[in-house]
Amino acid sequence: MKVLFSHKTGNKYFYDENSNQDYHCKEGMIKRDDILNNVIVKSNKGVLFTVLTGNNFDRSIKIIRGPQIITNKDLGYIISRTRINKFSNILEAGGGSGAATIFFANLVNSVKTFEIVPKHFEIIKKNLKKNEIENVELILGDLNEYIEKENDNHYDLIFLDLPNPTKILEKNLNCLKKGQYIVIYQPSITQIKEIVDFIVKNKREDFFVEEISEISVRNWKITEKIARPEFKKEIDHTAFLIFIRKV
């Protein structure tokens, strides 16, 4: 994959190197040979582009979208906060579009992902293939029904991005190593409150709520004459994160 950055608009375009066609976009036509052999190219409308070789970040933008995906700002924080690494095993639900799955899979030893909706399952399957991910076990099913069948002390992180996560907290979570995290991603703070209430009401001393967070990113535009926050790229609220440790 090649990535073309327009010098005029800052727009980003993706070019499949396996295509034998020239590239057409609203900023003009760019010749295939130019894209493959140059770093700076010019369209027939006179717009200049910088050509880069695509990386994992670019590929993540191009995944097939089904359910709403988690954002990079939140994924980055989960990794730094839980310190999962190349030896870690993650249990995840629901898979959705596979954005979190692919991100985790590129960093850890293994990911097991449950997705309950067949249509979403197929999207994740395609996205995993497209991204050449081989350390994910993808299961079509309800995590609630399977979680107690997982091997004891196997997982370093349980990541939940689904409705009614307290149903999972009611289960026996022997599959999660002690001291490790259940991270739950929920769009509304009332949903996070429900989780905290559930833990308190049920006197769940096996869970310790370590942190509740909302992550913000502010991008800046800097040119010769401008130095200010970007208007378009500001990501406002996405969801809240709760970090629960298994005692």
Ligand X SMILES: C[S@@+](CC[C@H](N)C(=O)[O-])C[C@H]1O[C@@H](n2cnc3c(N)ncnc32)[C@H](O)[C@@H]1O
Instruction: Give 32 or 59: the residue with its C-beta nearer to ligand X.
Output: 59
Q: Does 158 bind ligand X (CB under 6 A)?
A: no
CA distances to 25, 87, 89, 98, 141 from 105, rounded to whole Å, are: 33, 11, 9, 10, 20
Measuring CA to CA, how many Å separate 221 from each of 27, 228, 236? 21, 6, 17
What residues from 206 to 225 belong to the interface with ligand X (CB under 6 A)?
none
Residues contacting residue 53 through CB under 8 Å, at least 6 positions apart: 1, 2, 3
Please select the residue that binds ligand X; options are 6, 78, 89, 94, rule is CB under 6 A: 94
Q: State the binding string over 13-52 for ligand X (x if CB under 6 A, else -).
A: ----------------------------------------
Q: Rounded to whole angstroms, how far apart are CA atoms 68 and 149?
A: 28
Kindly tell me which residue out of 41, 78, 99, 111 binds ligand X, with binding defined by CB under 6 A. 99
What is the Cα–Cα distance from 21 to 127, expressed in whole angstroms?
A: 24
Residues touching ligand X, count (CB under 6 A): 22
Q: Pattern 107-136, binding to ligand X, x per CB under 6 A? A: -------xxxx--x----------------
4: which DSSP letter?
A: E
Verify binding: residue 143, ligand X, rule CB under 6 A. yes
